[in-house]
Amino acid sequence: MDMPVSFEIRPLSPAGGAEIIGLDLSQTLPQQTIEELRRAWNDHIVLVWRDQEFTEEEQLAFAGRFGKLGQRKVPPEELKERSDGVLQNNPNVMLVTNIMKDGKPAGSFGDGEMWLHIDSGYAEIPYSYTFLYGVKLPSWGGNTRFANTYKAYDALPQEMKDKLAGKKALHIHEYERRARVDISNKDISQSPHWFHPVCITHPESGRKALFVDRLMTRRIEGVPYDESEEILDFLYDHIEQEEFVFEHEWKLGDVVAWDNRCSTHGRTYFPENEERLLRRCTIDGSKLYENA
């Protein structure tokens, strides 16, 4: 178990993503390998393994080497039906799927396109990493697109960096896939939400990243509403430019795991009449600050 294991890192795009070749994730890997993977994450943001075969238990065991496993968030009662899946029995696991079981959703968030987002960005302590395992896939579509928000931050005009310095933004979750929550006349106290710095310093790499996403970030604090809308629209389009995006096309047995603090991710359309199932688990993060 403690013998070194060698593996190859093959970068997949200038925006990020790297395939890790030569590891069987169902095995207990040496601690040194785990540390090497953590370093690879800092460089590539999204890691991809092909042809893996592992059970839910093995997936959790592998992910758990990187920190404390995250719990699936429980939505407020009135939003429950948008997220509750009847086959989601393990609190550490989310089934991202459109599969139905006895007329009810088996999992969560499974249908069609999903706008780019940060997993649990609406929570005080967002997840640090997310792991997805490809269990069932449609014949086409349903790719996962990742935007590198380090690169997006670095490429901002200095004037915009200055404007965003010290600002926080509201992240709010209403379990939508591709719609903005209208907060103009809304009591948000019943919806999960949190204010995070617009620009964070990543707690491990020390680099600055943009921390806003098209799906759930709705308001920059302390800026007039119209100006806030204008800035956020600019940032979403800026972040999602092709030069910052890596797109993963799924194959059965893929494991894709990413750093959730320096990327946003979303899903492309796939046919509604085809089934897709990804098994997700996460790692708890830490509170995020603009300056380390």
Interface residues with Fe ion (CB under 5 A) are: 119
What span, in angstroms and rounded, lies between the C-alpha atoms of 151 and 236?
13
Residue 148 vs 228, nearer CB to Fe ion: 148
Q: Which of 268, 267, 175, 183 is nearest to 232 (CA)?
A: 183
Measured from the Cβ of residue 22, the count of other Cβ atoms closer than 10 Å reads 10
Q: Give the nearest distance from C-beta 21 to Fe ion in angstroms.
A: 25
The CB-of-59 to Fe ion minimum distance in angstroms stands at 16
- Cα distances (angstroms) measured from residue 143 to each of 8, 112, 115, 253: 24, 11, 12, 14
Instruction: Write down the least CB distance from residue 99 to Fe ion, Å.
Output: 17
Residue 211 or 228 having the CB closest to Fe ion: 211
Report, in Å, the least distance between residue 104 CB and Fe ion: 21
Residue/partner pairs of 67-70 with CB below 8 Å, 24 or more apart:
67/128, 67/129, 67/283, 67/284, 68/283, 68/284, 69/281, 69/282, 69/283, 69/284, 70/120, 70/127, 70/281, 70/282, 70/283, 70/284
Nearer to Fe ion by C-beta: 164 or 192? 192
> Percentages helix, strand, coil for the chain, rounded to the nearest 5?
20, 30, 50
As a whole number of angstroms, the distance between CA 147 and CA 216 comes to: 15
The residue number with the shortest CB distance to Fe ion is 119
Q: How far is the CB of 51 from Fe ion (least distance, A)?
A: 23
- Cα dihedral across residues 92, 143, 147, 221: positive or negative: negative
Q: Which is nearer to Fe ion, 167 or 276 (CB)?
A: 276
- Could you tell me the two tokens for 197? 């710095």
- Nearest distance, CB of residue 280 and Fe ion, angstroms: 8
Nearest to Fe ion of 144, 228 (CB atom): 144
Query: Which of residues 119 and 259 has its CB atom nearest to Fe ion in the complex?
Result: 119
